[in-house]
Amino acid sequence: MIKLFILLVCLASTTWAACSREQTVTNEGRRRCCYYDTKGIPTIGVGFNLQRSDAKTILSKFGLSLSDVLTDCRLGTQKHCLTNSQMDSIFDSYEYPSATQCADSFAPGLSGQRRAAVADVAFAGCGTLNQFAKMKAALLKKDWATAAKELQNSKWCTQVKGRCTLDADCIRNG
């Protein structure tokens, strides 16, 4: 009985830890130097899209030139990279707030864990999140099982695999 209780506590704490800002950081990964993401988009840090209209301005705040960073990407060099602190700052100041704002507009009033899961999907962009009309309807009705199922039945889910499973579990179990 005690072993079962400990197992349940461990599983609950694992789900809790997964349903957070850190989940998105883990899902995206951390890369100090420029790389091309799975769609061929030049990226740096925690999934920071270097094709964003504000990328030049944001990088300049950290003493980096967008042109130099993109050259690194193109040549496969690592001369113009972010520090760990700079990656965190860009993620916390620009990327994650944008994703949570998108999640809040998509389905207002979600709990922390459900909100984090929807924000993780929104990290792909509000346009991507807004394609989940059936999931949105289920979220607004607080039908967590259907919302999770709709997420799992999506094209996005087949592309991101394990990431989707975590997000669906967060939505289903809150």
Higher pLDDT, 120 or 9: 120
What pLDDT does residue 85 have?
A: 97
Q: CA–CA separation, 171 vs 173, rounded Å?
A: 6
What pLDDT does residue 10 have?
A: 38
What pLDDT does residue 75 have?
A: 97
List Cα–Cα distances, 30 to 25, 27, 40, 152, in angstroms: 7, 9, 17, 25
Can you tell me which residue has the tokens 């999140």?
Answer: 129
What pLDDT does residue 108 have?
A: 97
Higher pLDDT, 3 or 37: 37
For the chain, the average pLDDT equals: 89
What pLDDT does residue 162 have?
A: 84
Phi, psi of 31 (to 5 degrees): -130, 115
Give the model's confidence band at 39: pLDDT under 50 very low, under 70 low, under 90 confident, else very high.
confident
Which helix (H) or strand (E) is 35 found in, with range?
strand 31-36
DSSP state of 48: E
Which tens digit of pLDDT belongs to each residue from 87-145? 999 999 999 999 999 999 999 999 889 999 999 999 988 999 999 999 999 999 999 99
DSSP state of 46: T
The angle subtended at Cα 27 by Cα 42 and Cα 64, nearest 5°, is 35
The reported pTM is 0.83
Chain CA centroid to CA 135, Å: 17
What pLDDT does residue 101 have?
A: 96
**Three-state DSSP class for residue 131:** coil
